[in-house]
Structure 1
Amino acid sequence: MDHLYTNEEGRTLIEILVSIVIISIVVIPFLSVFIQTTKSINHSDTILDATYFAQTHMEDIHNISETYTFDEAISFLNTDSKYSLISNNETSYNILIETDKYFGEIEIQKVNDSNLTQIVISIYEDNSKNKLEAKMENYVTWES
């Protein structure tokens, strides 16, 4: 019976703890890289979505500029349900866009006495306008 206890090739508790510590030292830096990568991907997705949202509205305004005169376009945007005219004067108009995900502001400003108009679209996280997600600027000419 004594020969059963003479062959003790098991691992001690110290050896197991040391191996766990070594594995932890190797694995923990990789985990922080994965976490940072996930945060970067989520932030990039937000920026891409906001830019796409701005691009869509910029294309809408460009299409409107090819169809309507400037005054007709402002009237059209004022009656469209996805836009809300908030301020205007002879040469400058501010229009709001609001969805479940984003809050946007479109600034339309005539350039001197020409047919050229500056369009600036700013997309925010919410209507507090604390965090700008995307901004797009373009110049368009209007149908005469």
Structure 2
Amino acid sequence: MNTRFKNKMINEQGVTLVEVLVSFVILSIILVSLLSFFSQSARTNQTSEEILDATYMAQTQMEKLYQLSKDHSIAQGITQLKDHNFANTIASDGQNSFHLEKQTSHFWITVEINQTEKDMDDLYNVLVKVYDQDKKRLEAQMETILAWRNE
């Protein structure tokens, strides 16, 4: 029986074409499924990076507004924003409401500053929104209430 097994092993010349094709099919199925995972991972990574960049942009702008509120009155702060390439997009109604926009290389930044209540002259609700380059999708948003220095 042992010699019979040896003779059978010696008589086999190699793998058949069918065995090679089956192994290629199995290998290709595995590779295609792995490639779909990689492409999905790349898309998720890109989306996360865009959100992170937009959030950083909103946070940076909010910190600049906070510093302006500590150093300047609301009118001086709006002037400072305009000096930093922000443009009024909606006519402001005196000292109560401001809407400013600025385009950067990758985002649109909008800043809305509205007086909270008529009784509280120095408190303003500040809303910073960051949109994509086409201004179609909101990427990040931050809101706070700042006390602006009196004139």
Instruction: Give the TM-score, by structure 2 length.
Output: 0.83
Task: Pick the aligned partner of 1:82 from 57, 82, 85.
Answer: 85
Corresponding residue number in structure 2 for 1:118: 125
**Deviation above 6 Å: which 4+ runs of structure 1?**
none
Structure 1 residue 71 displacement after superposition: 1.8
Q: Given residue 55 of structure 1, which amino acid in structure 2 is its aligned partner?
A: Q
Aligned twin of 1:12: 16
Equivalents in 2 of 1:32, 1:143: separation in Å? Answer: 55
Query: What's the CA shift for 1:82?
Result: 2.6
> C-alpha root-mean-square deviation of aligned residues, in Å?
1.6
Cα drift, residue 33 of structure 1: 1.2
Query: Which residue of 117, 121, 143 maps to 1:137?
Result: 143
* Structure 2: unaligned runs, 5 residues or longer: 1-9
Contact 1:102 1:125 survives alignment (8 Å): yes
Q: Contact (CA 8 Å) 1:85, 1:93: kept in 2 or not? A: yes
| Distance in 1 separating the partners of 2:103 and 2:26 | 53
**Within the alignment, does 1:92 sit opposite 2:106 as a pair?**
no
CA distance in 2, matches of 1:18, 1:76: 71
* Equivalent-residue separation in structure 2 for 1:22 and 1:100 (angstroms): 47
Q: Could you tell me how far apart the structure 2 residues matched to 1:17 and 1:70 are?
A: 75
- Alpha-carbon distance in structure 2 between the residues aligned to 1:120 and 1:50: 14
Give yes or no for contact 1:77–1:85 (8 Å, CA) kept in 2.
no
The separation in 1 between residues aligned to 2:50 and 2:108, in whole angstroms, is 13
The count of residues paired between Structure 1 and Structure 2 equals 137
Superposed displacement of residue 92, structure 1: 0.8
Taking the aligned partners of 2:127 and 2:136, their CA distance within structure 1 comes to 18
Structure 1: state its 5+ residue gaps.
1-5
2:71 counterpart (57, 64, 67):
67
Q: Which has the larger radius of gyration?
A: 2
Cα shift at 1:28? 2.0
State the SS of the aligned residue for 1:139.
Answer: strand
